[in-house]
């Protein structure tokens, strides 16, 4: 055997060996059983005479002592002053793997080798000097492999005090070392695991002093990088919330006394001063003899869960105070839901229902418990959906979520639209244990979506009709201008009459385009603060004449005198149109009601901003409209009247007027029960002025000194040609330009007395041309002509510039030009 190194230890007492040792005959030393002999005086082995003498002379049976030494669990040897083995008990000889006869009489150096002896020799010499020493080392055993051993060297002295040898107590501590190493590794592994855990962990003694805390515990106590010693010595009672301290201490004492695992929940102050909810689970720990030596605890931060629990408990107490505590949480969530909820068996049997009240639902939902969902009272009222419910239950029972949109329609009840779903609820093992039926009323959502869709459709129609009206106005300008010239110059009375009739028809077309522009909200209204109720009151005589005696007129007008934003003239036209439509819908007579009231829009309306409004309602008791007609009622050119009896622009003009005023228009109609048109006007921020301004007309003045120079800029060659010819007839010097860039170039070449400028042109618009011209020539007179009524845009660019709306006659053009050329001031 060779030593792997070790460590020596000298006895702190430095005393002498006090345990005597005696040996017997050689046959016992060798470990070979001796044959039975006649008892005789035992023979003392050489070197043991002093020891035998000290133990009582030669009368002691050495073989008996050897037998005792051999059955001891300790490995023992004795060496003399020459470090020669004089005694080895059987456990040591067996461990060394040598017969005793091969050990006795040999020196330690010879038995363990030079290298191992070199490490022990100083300690052996010290023991021969009377000092008790010890040596621990790890060696390679011939048969046992790598082992750890512990040797104690006890000096043995005669009665005179002279050291006669050394008693060696030898112990194989390999298993002990392995156990200690495993324990250290286990403890280190425990520490690593504990420090990696997000939970607080600790180990305490019976006196509540903590032997161990993990990093999460230390960080909670005193922050990141906290000294664990500081955390271990913390008195937790000072960190418990004042409202919880008495309860937690009492529960802790009771839990420890039970010697069973116990749980505590409470608020504890973290290192930053914030109180956090912690849930701790503690259990007793016992020593090797089963005695209680302390407790082990694990704590987790449950603040978020606790807040949620407390909030849920609050809702439970408000809504279900009469329910049993065992189902309190379930019922709170169930009843607080905004949808109709039904808990089902996988076969469709109803187990529980919430009490969400809906117009389409049976008055007492609890009557459905125990029945199949398709046989429940609500479904009996809507038997057309029984098959769908069976299909949904079957799909969910197979593990698939079923969804559908259901129209709840029956006689005597309002129609509702539901978003229905049936979904499986699984146990932890994946088995389907319940089904959850949910029905959310989306009637208002669908109505809002329909309003949004209708609003978007009307916006698209507005853009289309606005473009058409603009181009049509250009065409009508040429037609009206040409017919006007023919009517003035025709010598034949018949030809003049034809031209005048055509001119009248063209002007009716111009009025139609005006209605189209009002619908598209391109032609700006003169919106101003207006009182609705007085306006309707002033229309009573006109309405009486229009409606006739067969229709009863009712007025329920709010007299709060709240001003709204509207064009009074256009509002009168709209009311008159609606009254005429109502009259036509009641050929046998009926009632027509005019009512107004303030309403507040809080949001969610697709075409209205939140705020205060006045709602004006014109309701009749006529034939009403079917859904397909109601859907298209506001569309331009849509009419149900006979050919020649309606243009289809009346309601579209009403819609455009309301939208352009910042409000909205709604229609409610039921076939056979009548129609109600609701106009909403936004509350004005300003008061109604004493004298509302009228429509601004071009200033008319006497003609200036002729001939004036006029530049006509218009992209439409026919319109431009009509304007140029009409002005040349009046003696003006006229130049023309086909677009904005050409017009600016003409201005730079020679500044005219007046620019007649089309407002809407491709490329550079009339607004951009006016801006560039006014930048170079601030006082340049400009007369705008446009198929739109762009008064607002014109005022922003050229506040003093008049606007002549297309189509127009030559006389209107002459008057506008004279007004534009005449200085004001």
Query: Going by C-beta distance under 8 Å and a sequence separation of 6 or more, which residues neighbour residue 184?
Result: none
CA distance 643 to 645: 6
Q: Which of 43-52, 282-291, 341-350 has the lowest mean pLDDT?
A: 43-52
CA distance 813 to 806: 10
Q: Which of 439-448, 659-668, 785-794 has the lowest mean pLDDT?
A: 785-794
Q: Are 25 and 87 in contact (CB under 8 A)?
A: no
* Coil, helix or strand at residue 172: strand
pLDDT reading at 515 higher than 80: no
Closest CA to 808 of 791, 786, 782, 793: 786
Q: Are 661 and 527 in contact (CB under 8 A)?
A: yes
φ, ψ at 276 (rounded to 5°): -125, 145
pLDDT reading at 351 higher than 80: yes
Q: What is the pLDDT of residues 68-122, one digit of tens each?
A: 878 888 889 999 999 999 989 889 888 888 898 889 999 999 988 888 888 888 9
* Coil, helix or strand at residue 181: helix
- Which residue's structure tokens are 């200085």? 823
| Two tokens, residue 54 | 């000290």
| Two tokens, residue 163 | 């050291």
For 354, the enclosing helix (H) or strand (E) is none
Q: What is the pLDDT of residue 423?
A: 92
In the beta sheet, which residues pair with residue 140?
Answer: 2, 146
Mean per-residue pLDDT, 781-802: 73
* Tally of CB atoms within 10 A around 101: 16
pLDDT grade for 320, boundaries at 50, 70 and 90? low
- Which residue's structure tokens are 């050229």? 798
Q: Are 680 and 574 in contact (CB under 8 A)?
A: no
Closest CA to 739 of 754, 724, 722, 760: 760
Q: What is the pLDDT of residue 701?
A: 39
Task: Quote the pTM value.
Answer: 0.34
Mean per-residue pLDDT, 245-272: 92
Query: Going by C-beta distance under 8 Å and a sequence separation of 6 or more, which residues neighbour residue 630?
Result: 667, 669
pLDDT grade for 248, boundaries at 50, 70 and 90? very high
Q: What is the pLDDT of residue 678?
A: 92
Give the HSE-up count for residue 733: Cα atoms under 13 Å, Cβ half-sphere: 9
pLDDT grade for 605, boundaries at 50, 70 and 90? confident
* Tally of CB atoms within 10 A around 754: 21
Query: How much of the chain exceeds pLDDT 90, in percent?
Result: 21
Q: Which of 216-230, 335-349, 443-457 has the lowest mean pLDDT?
A: 443-457
pLDDT reading at 672 higher than 90: no
Question: In the chain, what is the straight-line distance between the N-terminal and C-terminal CA atoms, in Å?
Answer: 130
Report the residue count for the chain. 825
pLDDT reading at 25 higher than 50: no
- Which residue's structure tokens are 């089902």? 344
* Coil, helix or strand at residue 442: coil
Q: What is the pLDDT of residue 6?
A: 53
Q: What is the pLDDT of residue 255?
A: 92
pLDDT grade for 267, boundaries at 50, 70 and 90? very high
Residues of 617-644 as b/e, b for ≥16 C-beta within 10 angstroms? bbbbbbbbbeeeebbebbbbebbeeeee
* Coil, helix or strand at residue 205: strand
Closest CA to 422 of 494, 523, 474, 350: 350
pLDDT reading at 21 higher than 60: no
pLDDT reading at 643 higher than 50: no
């Amino acid at each position: 055997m060779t030593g792997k190194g070790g460590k020596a230890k000298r006895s702190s007492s430095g005393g002498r060996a006090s345990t005597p040792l005696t040996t017997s005959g050689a046959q016992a030393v060798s470990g070979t059983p001796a044959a039975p002999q006649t008892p005789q005086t035992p023979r003392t082995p050489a070197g043991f005479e002093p020891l035998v003498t000290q133990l009582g002379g030669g009368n002691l049976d050495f073989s008996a002592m050897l037998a005792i030494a051999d059955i001891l669990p300790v490995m023992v040897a004795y060496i003399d002053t020459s470090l020669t083995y004089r005694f080895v008990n059987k456990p040591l000889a067996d461990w060394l793997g040598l017969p005793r006869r091969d050990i006795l009489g040999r020196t330690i150096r010879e038995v363990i080798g030079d290298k191992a002896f070199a490490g022990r020799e100083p300690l052996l010499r010290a023991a021969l000097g009377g000092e008790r020493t010890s040596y621990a080392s790890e060696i390679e055993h011939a048969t046992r492999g790598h082992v750890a051993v512990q040797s104690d060297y006890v000096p043995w002295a005669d009665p005179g005090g002279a050291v006669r040898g050394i008693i060696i107590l030898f112990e194989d501590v390999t298993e002990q070392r392995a156990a200690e190493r495993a324990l250290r590794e286990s403890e280190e592994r425990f520490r690593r695991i504990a420090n990696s855990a997000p939970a607080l962990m600790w180990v305490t003694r019976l006196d509540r002093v903590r032997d161990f805390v993990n990093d999460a515990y230390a960080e909670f106590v005193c922050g990141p990088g906290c000294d664990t010693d500081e955390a271990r010595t913390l008195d937790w009672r000072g960190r418990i919330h004042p409202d919880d301290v008495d309860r937690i201490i009492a529960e802790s004492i009771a839990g420890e006394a039970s010697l069973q695992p116990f749980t505590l929940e409470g608020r504890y102050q973290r290192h930053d001063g914030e109180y956090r909810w912690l849930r701790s689970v503690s259990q007793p720990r016992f020593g090797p003899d089963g005695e209680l030596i302390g407790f082990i605890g694990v704590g987790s931060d449950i603040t978020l869960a606790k807040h949620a629990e407390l909030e849920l408990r609050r809702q439970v107490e408000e809504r279900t105070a009469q329910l049993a505590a065992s189902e309190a949480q379930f019922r709170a969530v169930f009843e607080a839901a905004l949808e109709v909820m039904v808990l089902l068996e996988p076969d469709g049997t109803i187990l529980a229902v919430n009490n969400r009240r809906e117009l389409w639902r049976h008055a007492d939902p609890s009557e459905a418990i125990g029945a199949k969902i398709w046989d429940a009272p609500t479904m009996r009222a809507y038997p057309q959906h029984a098959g769908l419910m069976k299909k949904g239950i079957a799909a969910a029972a197979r593990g698939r979520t079923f969804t559908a949109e259901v129209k709840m329609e029956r006689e005597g009840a309002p129609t509702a639209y539901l978003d229905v779903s049936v979904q499986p609820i699984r146990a932890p093992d994946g088995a389907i244990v319940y089904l959850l039926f949910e029905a959310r009323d989306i009637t208002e959502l669908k109505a809002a979506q329909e309003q949004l869709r209708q609003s978007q459709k009307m916006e698209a129609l507005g853009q289309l009709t606005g473009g058409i009206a603009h181009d049509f106005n250009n065409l009508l300008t040429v037609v009206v201008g040409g017919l006007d010239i023919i009517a003035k110059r025709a010598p034949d009375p018949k030809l003049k009459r034809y031209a005048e009739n055509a001119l009248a028809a063209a002007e009716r077309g111009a009025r139609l385009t005006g209605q189209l522009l009002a619908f598209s909200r391109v032609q700006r209204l003169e919106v101003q603060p207006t009182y609705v109720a007085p306006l309707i009151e002033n229309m009573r005589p006109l309405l009486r004449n229009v409606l006739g005696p067969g229709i009863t007129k009712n007025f329920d007008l709010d007299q709060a005198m709240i001003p709204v934003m509207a064009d009074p003239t256009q509002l009168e036209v709209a009311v008159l149109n609606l009254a005429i439509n109502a009259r036509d819908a009641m050929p046998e007579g009926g009632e027509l009601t005019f009512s107004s009231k303030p309403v507040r829009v809080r949001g969610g309306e697709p075409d209205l901003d939140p705020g205060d409004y006045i709602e004006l309602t014109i309701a009749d008791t006529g034939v009403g409209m079917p859904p397909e007609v109601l859907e298209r009622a506001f569309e331009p050119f849509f009419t149900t009247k006979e050919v020649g009896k309606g243009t289809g622009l009346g309601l579209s003009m009403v819609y455009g007027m309301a939208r352009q005023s910042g409000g909205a228009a709604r229609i409610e109609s039921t076939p056979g029960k009548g129609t109600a048109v609701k106009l909403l006007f936004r509350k004005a921020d300003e008061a109604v002025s004493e004298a509302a301004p009228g429509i601004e007309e071009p200033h008319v003045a006497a003609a200036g000194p002729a001939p004036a120079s006029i530049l006509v800029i218009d992209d439409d060659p026919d319109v431009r040609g009509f304007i140029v010819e009409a002005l040349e007839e009046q003696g003006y010097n006229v130049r023309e330009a086909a677009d904005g860039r050409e017009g600016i170039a003409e201005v730079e070449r020679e500044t005219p007395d007046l620019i007649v400028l089309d407002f809407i042109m491709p490329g550079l618009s009339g607004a951009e041309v006016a801006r560039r011209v006014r930048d170079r020539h601030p006082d340049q007179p400009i007369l705008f002509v446009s198929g739109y009524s762009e008064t607002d845009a014109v005022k922003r660019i050229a506040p003093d510039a008049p606007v002549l709306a297309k189509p127009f006659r030559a006389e209107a053009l002459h008057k506008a030009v004279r007004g534009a050329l005449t200085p004001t001031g």
